[in-house]
Structure 1
Amino acid sequence: MDKLLDVKNLKISFNTYGGEVQAVRGVNFTVNKGETLAIVGESGSGKSVTTKALMQLLPKPHGFIKEGEILFEGEDIAKKSDKDMQKIRGKDISMIFQDPMTSLNPTMKIGNQIMEGLILHQKMSRDKARERTIELLELVGIPDAESRLKQFPHQFSGGMRQRVVIAIALACNPKLLIADEPTTALDVTIQAQILELMKDIQKKTDSAIIFITHDLGVVANVADRVAVMYAGKIVEIGTADEIFYNPKHPYTWGLLGSMPSLDNEGYELTAIPGTPPDMTDPPKGDAFAPRNDYALKIDEELEPPMFKVSDTHYAATWLLHENAPNVEPPESVKRRLKGISNTGSTPEVAKDGEQ
């Protein structure tokens, strides 16, 4: 597959009264054309900050990229000026935010809000932009699209407003679509419709998607690959099947164990003990160690490297070292691993940038 995005050693910090918050601490990942990568983790793990940096939407001057590269089609957009980024945002890279009501201008008709990008980036005439806007509204499943052009955001339901936001994001046929928890504010029925809509649109447009969520269940049928983030780092990354059926990191076990499903009858959901660390002073060694029931002594001293489980699967846990004790996932997670056998091979340490 052709590589569209390549993020290398990305470090992002925020200057606050309490000191420098190290929000993202050396993140590496790639996104291929037409692929969906889900980034999951608890609130505060660095998911949204990472993706906002891709579009240079960090709050300035307090938020800044400290180190690293963001290669989009081979060009480092982390070093581009704000003026240059204005030509990329909305045209090549678009973003769907969590709350549609804060994404839409309440004083503008939704037709004008969609047409704005078409006129600016696609240089369309107003009549042509209007035609395209009607097509987009029909594409995202809004009935009677032509008459709804003249309506304001408050005249739409929550699910319909999110569809409008998706139409705006898709207006200029972006190569990369970033969806930052786009279904969190919606009920489960509408959530399922929006997820199905995004899958359908991706098939039609062949755009790549980065899907941000704290809920592993949301991405089960959406993502091609999943990256699990904790304390500003990716701690496990692999195909959706590898993450769901052969997870290797205890944090991933915790996320899976706390995920409700129809087969949970007779079992209690598990919770991850403790709270995430203070990122003004990240802990020495493995940041997850204080919350990890399976932590080893080395976790308190040394940060684990990314161990290679397969060509597509990597995890940063000392439990994958050849000298580590054999530790099984908890019962709540093992139920999700039925029919999946371990490879039994000793993982290798990933080379820089290999993940």
Structure 2
Amino acid sequence: MSETILKVKDLKINFKTYAGIVQAVRGVNFELNVGETLAIVGESGSGKSVTSNALMKLIPQPPGIYESGEILFNGRDLIPLSDKEMTKVRGNDIAMIFQDPMTSLNPTMKIGRQITEVILKHKKVTRSDAKNRAIELLTQVGIPMPEKRYNQYPHEFSGGMRQRVVIAIALAADPKLLIADEPTTALDVTIQAQILELMKEIQKKSNTSIIFITHDLGVVANIADRVAVMYAGQIVEYGTVNEIFYNPKHPYTWGLLGSMPDLDNKSDELLRTIPGSPPDLIHPPKGDAFAPRNEFAMAIDYEKEPPMFQVSETHFAKTWLLHPDAPEIPIPDAVARRIEGFLAKEDQVNG
């Protein structure tokens, strides 16, 4: 049986603004096992990054408020910890890779110093050992001529190389959990694939647990074990990567899958989009937050928030369509074609 490293229970995070209180995260629950990758997926504004920052207690207070919930890392709740106590957790136990490597790196410091600083802070080693470890990390993340690169500044690296350096810094203290917040968004497709492959290799070698934040479902298929689909500050579907891709149950997940570009599609069919935009979380909607954008919405969707229905032992979805009395709605054709495409590609890979 897999060991659970992280358990998030009923996490609610608000922000005080001049316009009112924004309910950014509204009762999020999930678990992460040792050596597992969980992808958190959703549009901009769905609460993905707020959730990931909350795990490291990087939400500024004020304006942020941890309204309720628990973040249990190896059984210890991180929310009550002081800044001093969290400093020991950050980097050492939990590390983060941010979206833009140029804002993560100090432009006035050489790369080597930025890596050795983390090692010296968290490990009892000499400067010489820290330097050797930094060069070893640069090699591990695929940076050529690491001894030379050690003495260079961030502006002397390409975007993909800078992101590799950020990953090296995140790995410097051997964290048990790595949070990657859209780490490939600013990179081109080829470099993106290399960074994803690198993260998979690192995970295999060190059995690190990873939370991967992204808006791109295409990325998820290649890296995740489980997927949490977020919308309007809530997880609306949760399951293994196969369950989410081959048996999606929430209309929002259908929308995300249907709007993925298919490069193999030879037809003239236009790319689908999800109509409308996410709700204002200063005044969250009364029923299902996705109802105004959902072509299959029923009257109850506008009146009452759906519970999380269990589809299988590992698969859950927050939609009234799973209620026994709900009409049976077939998966939209565009989504069915995408699923057929995934299956065909899988057959090609396995065959």
Q: What TM-score do the two structures reach when normalised by structure 2?
A: 0.96
Which is further off, 155-164 or 259-268?
A: 259-268
Aligned to 2:313: 311
Percent identity reads: 70
Are 1:12 and 2:13 matched, yes or no? yes
Asked if the contact 1:33–1:206 (Cα under 8 Å) also holds between the matched residues in 2, the reply is yes
Q: Deviations over 1:253-311 (max 9, x none)?
A: 00000001233321322100001000000000100000000001100111000000000
> How far apart, CA to CA, are the structure 1 residues paired with 2:143 and 2:341?
41
> Which residue identity does 1:292 align to in structure 2?
N
**2:315 is the alignment partner of 1:326:** no
| Corresponding residue SS for 2:191 | helix
Aligned residue identity for 1:290: P
- Secondary structure of 1:112's match? helix
- What residue is the counterpart of 1:175 in the other structure? 176
Corresponding residue number in structure 1 for 2:241: 240
Q: Alpha-carbon deviations, 1:108-167, whole Å to 9, x = none?
A: 000000001110101211000000000000000000001111100000000000000000
1:134 corresponds to: 135
2:64 alignment partner in structure 1: 63
Does residue 225 (structure 1) correspond to residue 226 (structure 2)? The answer is: yes
**Match for residue 303 of structure 2 among 277, 298, 301:** 301
Q: Can you give the 5+ residue segments of structure 1 that lack an aligned partner in the other structure?
A: 342-355
Q: Which residue number in structure 2 is paired with residue 200 of structure 1?
A: 201
Give matches, 1:285-296, under 5 Å.
285-296=287-298
Residue-by-residue CA offset, 1:66-108 (whole Å, 9 max, x unaligned): 1000000000011100100000000000000000000000000
Report the alpha carbon displacement of residue 339 of structure 1 after superposing the two structures with TM.
10
Tell me how far 1:337 sits from its aligned partner. 3.1
Measured in 2, the distance between the counterparts of 1:63 and 1:251 equals 27
Give, in angstroms, the shift of residue 187 of structure 1.
0.4
After superposition, the Cα gap between the structure-2 partners of 1:163 and 1:340, relative to the gap in structure 1 and judged at 3 Å, is closer
CA shift, 1:59, in A, is 2.0
Residues 291-350 of structure 1: per-residue CA shift (max 9 Å, x gap):
000001100111000000000000000000000001011111011334999xxxxxxxxx
Task: Tell me, in whole angstroms, the C-alpha distance in 2 between the residues paired with 1:124 and 1:39.
Answer: 36
TM-score, with length taken from structure 1: 0.95
Letter in 1 for 2:84: K
Q: Any residues of structure 2 matched to 1:259-278 within 5 Å, and which?
A: 259-266=260-267, 267-278=269-280
* Residue equivalent to 1:101: 102
> Which residue type is aligned with residue 75 of structure 1?
R
CA contact (8 A) 2:101 2:166 kept: yes
How many equivalent residue pairs?
341
The one-character-per-residue Cα deviations of 1:200-243 (angstroms, maximum 9, x if unpaired) are: 11000100000000010111110000000000000000000000
RMSD over equivalenced CA pairs, Å: 1.2
Q: Which runs of 5+ in 2 are unaligned?
A: 344-351
The change in CA–CA distance for 1:340 and 1:169 in structure 2 (over 3 A counts) is closer
SS at match of 1:284: coil
Aligned residue in 2 for 1:36: 37
| 8 Å contact kept, 1:269–1:332 | no
Partners of 2:44 and 2:271 in 1: CA distance: 19
For 1:353, the equivalent position in structure 2 comes to none
Matched letter for residue 331 of structure 1: D
Aligned amino acid, residue 43 of structure 1: S
